[in-house]
């Protein structure tokens, strides 16, 4: 299969900076090209991937959270399939999203670190990368990214419209996405003003920082834009990648970084403000996910739509919050920036009424590289060659006997040196920066990774070491944080 860029020449609605987003949202326009006509019978399913930002494994009620209300995600799990051993692409934002896009683990994917090389973030994805959006676009899907991108800025080959997305609304750079009260967002390749918000002078070029006037909450615009895309494309087939910014902190705001319009039901709780903000963020996100599921049902397309929910990495210790306050990682060791389970094992729920068995639970071991081949399979398309993912369709459809399993899962992390981790069956190996020795854990007996068994199992340590060496392919970019 030959993949090409699908940048439309048929015109795209251009919006001036001064145009208010409220008026734009009501207009409901903006994809490159035209909407599809009604899909024929036996059409491939619509595909929705919802990505939370820095949500911990146990920050959802269905995964044991007792203090933060997530009724719609809990209902989604009760009506769908809950994964207990699903992993993100990395332990930080940008490489995790790169893995999601191209189906290759962090030893092979293009963007492997959060280091900012250019304005609006990382070295952009090059033309040579084939994203799952391009695969689906070629298969006839209308494709949209709403929310946070982080894989290429304006006028680069990494821009979403040049990586398979017909429609984009949100943040291009991950630092910009810290600011929930930004003065501007991007609509396709144009920047548009956000009503009422005001930044201090001198303004940062990427829009990051803490606003002086906080009127319009960007998450609300993102949620509304996602619903509008579904409304416009309900005849399908469509793919929506809803990359939420919640519950990431605004790092530039310091201890006030858990920005949210109000604490709602948590206002009277005897909690630190940052924890009230965390809880309010997650419950607000949960309600908007419920709105999306309701909208699919209202349009009568829920039974022809797979919705997959996950987080990009483990819980954070930023914006004044403590991940231990709500026990965000549950029994798992580590948080964001760790390659222990708490940094990479994430909540994951699949919802597809009539196709995914309600109330089902799977211990299938999967991770972000699997999304590309799974979506390609459901769309009737062939994935690119050389990826690391495995099609999870048998697991989704309740046929585990037909499910291929990974030989191993691999991660590497480039901050202050390179860390590596491998999961091989129930064995987990972790090599931290500046250490030659590999830590070995048996996740079946020690989920919390408390007892290093490397000395007792040198053969396992040697096998894990060989995988680490083989799985890492040198990158042309130096990602180590300086």
pLDDT at 41: 47
* Same domain membership, residue 256 and residue 199: yes
Specify if 12 maps to a domain. no
pLDDT at 120: 67
pLDDT at 477: 81
Specify if 278 maps to a domain. yes
371-379 and 93-102 helices, crossing angle to 10°: 30
Distance of CA 175 to the CA centre of its chain: 15
Name the residue range of residue 441's domain: 408-482
Q: What is the distance between the alpha carbons of residues 434 and 85, in angstroms, rounded to a whole number? A: 29
- Overall number of domains in the chain: 2
Nearest to 430 by CA among 405, 415, 413, 445: 413
Last residue of a domain, one of 359, 377, 406: 406
Q: The whole model's pTM is what?
A: 0.93
Give residue 222's pLDDT band: very low, low, confident or very high (50, 70, 90): very high
Last residue of a domain, one of 376, 391, 406: 406
Asked whether residue 384 carries a pLDDT value surpassing 60, the answer given is yes
Of 20-34, 65-79, 335-349, the poorest mean pLDDT is in: 20-34
Can you give the CATH number for the domain in which 469 is found? 3.30.1120.10
* Same domain membership, residue 429 and residue 399: no
* Same domain membership, residue 252 and residue 223: yes
Pairing label, strands 348-351, 427-431 = unpaired
Asked whether residue 87 carries a pLDDT value surpassing 60, the answer given is yes
Q: What is the mean pLDDT of residues 237-251?
A: 98
pLDDT at 480: 65
Give residue 203's pLDDT band: very low, low, confident or very high (50, 70, 90): confident
* Same domain membership, residue 417 and residue 369: no
What is the residue-wise DSSP string for 107-173?
TTSS-------BTTBSPPPPTT---HHHHHHHTT-EEEEEEE--S--TTSTTSGGGTT-SEEEEESS
Give residue 182's pLDDT band: very low, low, confident or very high (50, 70, 90): very high
* Same domain membership, residue 426 and residue 280: no
pLDDT at 33: 39
Asked whether residue 482 carries a pLDDT value surpassing 80, the answer given is no
Specify if 457 maps to a domain. yes
* Same domain membership, residue 178 and residue 146: yes
Pull the structure tokens for residue 114.
Answer: 């959060």
Specify if 4 maps to a domain. no
Pull the structure tokens for residue 312.
Answer: 């990009």
Asked whether residue 368 carries a pLDDT value surpassing 80, the answer given is yes
Task: Find all residues with CB under 8 Å of 299, minimum gap 6, and list them.
Answer: 230, 231, 234
3-state secondary structure of 276: helix
Long-range Cβ contacts of 383-386 (<8 Å, 24+ apart): 383/103, 383/135, 384/1, 384/3, 384/102, 384/103, 384/130, 384/135, 386/104
Specify if 96 maps to a domain. yes
pLDDT at 4: 41
Give residue 117's pLDDT band: very low, low, confident or very high (50, 70, 90): low
Under DSSP, the state recorded for 201 is: S
Give residue 32's pLDDT band: very low, low, confident or very high (50, 70, 90): very low
- pLDDT tens digits, residue range 120-134? 666 799 999 999 999
Q: What is the distance between the alpha carbons of residues 327 and 65, in angstroms, rounded to a whole number? A: 8
Specify if 270 maps to a domain. yes
* Same domain membership, residue 430 and residue 301: no
Q: How many helices (H) and strands (E) does the chain have?
A: 10, 16
* Neighbouring C-beta atoms of residue 214, cutoff 10 Å: 15
Q: What is the distance between the alpha carbons of residues 111 and 312, in angstroms, rounded to a whole number? A: 14
* Same domain membership, residue 339 and residue 471: no
* Same domain membership, residue 443 and residue 396: no
Under DSSP, the state recorded for 253 is: G
Last residue of a domain, one of 380, 406, 432: 406
- pLDDT tens digits, residue range 306-334? 999 999 999 999 999 999 999 999 999 99
Give residue 114's pLDDT band: very low, low, confident or very high (50, 70, 90): confident
Strand partners, 309: 50, 349
pLDDT at 476: 79
Give residue 206's pLDDT band: very low, low, confident or very high (50, 70, 90): confident
Q: What is the mean pLDDT of residues 294-317?
A: 98
More confident residue, 118 or 311: 311
Write the CA distances from 208 to 175, 204, 230, 260, integer angstroms: 6, 6, 29, 16
Can you give the CATH number for the domain in which 318 is found? 3.40.720.10
Long-range Cβ contacts of 110-115 (<8 Å, 24+ apart): 110/475, 111/151, 112/412, 112/414, 112/475, 112/477, 112/479, 113/413, 113/414, 113/415, 113/479, 113/480, 113/481, 114/174, 114/415, 114/481, 115/414, 115/479, 115/480, 115/481, 115/482
Q: What is the mean pLDDT of residues 93-110?
A: 97
More confident residue, 39 or 370: 370
CB 27 within 8 A of CB 52: no
* Same domain membership, residue 239 and residue 194: yes
Question: What mean pLDDT is reported for the chain?
Answer: 91
b/e burial code for range 200-212 (CB count within 10 A of at least 16 → b)? eeeeeebbbbbbe
Asked whether residue 118 carries a pLDDT value surpassing 90, the answer given is no
Give residue 205's pLDDT band: very low, low, confident or very high (50, 70, 90): confident
pLDDT at 21: 46
* Same domain membership, residue 208 and residue 330: yes
Asked whether residue 237 carries a pLDDT value surpassing 60, the answer given is yes
Write the CA distances from 141 to 294, 304, 317, integer angstroms: 22, 14, 38
CB 238 within 8 A of CB 228: no
CB 91 within 8 A of CB 413: yes
* Same domain membership, residue 240 and residue 334: yes
Asked whether residue 189 carries a pLDDT value surpassing 60, the answer given is yes
CB 168 within 8 A of CB 187: yes
Specify if 67 maps to a domain. yes
More confident residue, 208 or 76: 76
pLDDT at 13: 33
Residue owning tokens 């965390």: 278
Specify if 17 maps to a domain. no
pLDDT at 10: 26
pLDDT at 325: 98
Asked whether residue 97 carries a pLDDT value surpassing 90, the answer given is yes
């Amino acid at each position: 299969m030959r993949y090409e860029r699908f940048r439309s020449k048929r015109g795209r609605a251009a919006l001036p900076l001064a145009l208010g987003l409220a008026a734009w949202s009501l207009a409901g326009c903006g994809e490159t090209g035209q909407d599809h006509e009604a899909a024929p019978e036996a059409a491939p399913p619509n595909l929705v991937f919802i990505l939370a930002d820095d949500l911990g494994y146990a920050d959802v009620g269905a995964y044991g959270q007792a203090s933060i209300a997530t009724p719609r995600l809990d209902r989604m799990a009760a009506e769908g399939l809950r994964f207990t051993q699903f992993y993100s692409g990395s332990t930080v934002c940008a490489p995790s999203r790169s893995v999601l896009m191209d189906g290759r683990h962090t030893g092979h994917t293009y963007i492997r670190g959060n280091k900012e090389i250019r304005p609006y973030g990382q070295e952009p994805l090059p033309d040579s990368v084939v994203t799952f959006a391009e695969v689906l676009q070629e298969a006839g899907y209308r494709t949209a990214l709403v929310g946070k991108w982080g894989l290429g800025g304006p006028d680069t080959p990494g821009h979403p419209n040049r990586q398979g997305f017909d429609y984009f609304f949100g943040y291009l750079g991950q630092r910009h996405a810290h600011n929930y009260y930004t003065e501007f967002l991007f609509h396709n390749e144009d920047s548009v003003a956000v009503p009422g918000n005001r930044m201090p002078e001198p303004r940062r070029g990427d829009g990051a920082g803490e606003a002086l006037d906080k009127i319009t909450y960007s998450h609300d615009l993102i949620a509304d834009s996602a619903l509008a895309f579904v409304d416009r494309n309900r005849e399908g087939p469509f793919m929506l990648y809803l990359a939420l910014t919640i519950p990431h902190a605004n790092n530039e705001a310091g201890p006030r970084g858990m920005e949210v319009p109000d604490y709602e039901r948590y206002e009277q709780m005897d909690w630190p403000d940052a924890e009230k903000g965390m809880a309010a963020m997650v419950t607000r996100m949960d309600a908007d996910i419920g709105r999306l599921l309701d909208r699919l049902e209202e349009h009568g397309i829920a039974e022809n739509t797979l919705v997959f929910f996950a987080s990009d990495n483990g819980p954070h210790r930023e914006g004044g919050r403590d991940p231990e306050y709500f026990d965000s990682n549950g029994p798992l060791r580590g948080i964001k920036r760790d390659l222990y389970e708490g940094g990479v094992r994430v909540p994951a729920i699949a919802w597809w009424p009539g196709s995914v068995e309600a109330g089902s639970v799977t211990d299938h071991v999967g991770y972000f590289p699997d999304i590309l081949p799974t979506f390609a399979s459901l769309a009737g398309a062939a994935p690119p060659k050389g990826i690391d993912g495995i099609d999870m369709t048998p697991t989704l459809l309740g046929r585990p006997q037909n499910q291929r399993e990974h030989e191993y899962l691999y991660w590497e992390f480039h901050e202050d040196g390179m860390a590596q981790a491998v999961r091989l069956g129930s064995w987990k190996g972790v090599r931290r920066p500046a250490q030659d020795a590999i830590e070995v854990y048996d996740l079946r007996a020690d989920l919390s990774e408390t007892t290093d068994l490397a000395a007792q199992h040198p053969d396992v340590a040697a096998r894990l070491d060989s995988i680490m060496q083989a799985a890492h392919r040198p990158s042309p970019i130096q990602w180590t944080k300086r």
